[in-house]
């Protein structure tokens, strides 16, 4: 069984969504974890948009990358540039992979304060990033672990 770690800065949205999709597409062929270099809780909008697509991440926790340095990962995937730059050294990682996704919490125009963004704009951003992560996750699992017929 392969072990996959997904890293992001806060382990609140992108890495959580990627963990959910990678685990879904891998099934029993992999164990998938996610962590952050500065974790600050799972974003409720990430939980909401994943539930819209039938993936339950409400039980996920936000963890620090240091908690996983002793696990022999086959793949460590960074999903944001900051995590890539601050990624702890994983001596047991078989392959380090970087694929940056936009931060769904920071996609408003620069002059729009976070508190002033309409909720629908935030949801739209999360849905767009979710869809990018879903496509990437399915392609990753198919190319690295082979295709599996999902029920």
Distance, first Cα to last Cα, the chain: 20
Indicate whether 150 pLDDT > 80: no
Model confidence, pTM? 0.86
CATH assignment, 2-145: 3.40.50.2300
Indicate whether 119 pLDDT > 90: no
**pLDDT (0 to 100) of residue 91:** 64
Residues whose CB falls within 8 Å of the CB of residue 98, separated by 6 or more in sequence, listed in order: 77, 78, 84
**pLDDT (0 to 100) of residue 87:** 62
**pLDDT (0 to 100) of residue 94:** 83
Which residues are designated catalytic?
8, 80, 87
CB 79 within 8 A of CB 18: yes
**pLDDT (0 to 100) of residue 116:** 54
Domain ranges of the chain: 2-145
């Amino acid at each position: 069984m392969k072990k996959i770690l997904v890293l992001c800065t806060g382990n609140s949205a992108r890495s959580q969504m990627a963990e959910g999709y990678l685990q879904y597409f891998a099934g029993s062929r992999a164990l998938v974890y996610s962590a952050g270099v500065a974790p600050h809780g799972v974003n409720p909008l990430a939980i909401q948009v994943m539930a819209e697509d039938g993936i339950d991440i409400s039980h996920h926790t936000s963890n620090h990358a240091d908690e996983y340095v002793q696990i022999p990962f086959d793949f460590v995937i960074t999903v944001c540039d900051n995590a890539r730059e601050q990624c702890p050294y994983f001596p047991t990682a078989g392959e380090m992979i970087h694929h940056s996704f936009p931060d769904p919490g920071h996609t408003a125009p620069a002059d729009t304060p976070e508190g002033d963004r309409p909720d629908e704009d935030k949801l739209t951003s999360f849905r767009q990033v979710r869809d990018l992560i879903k496509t990437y996750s399915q392609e990753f699992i198919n190319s690295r672990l082979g295709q599996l017929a999902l029920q």
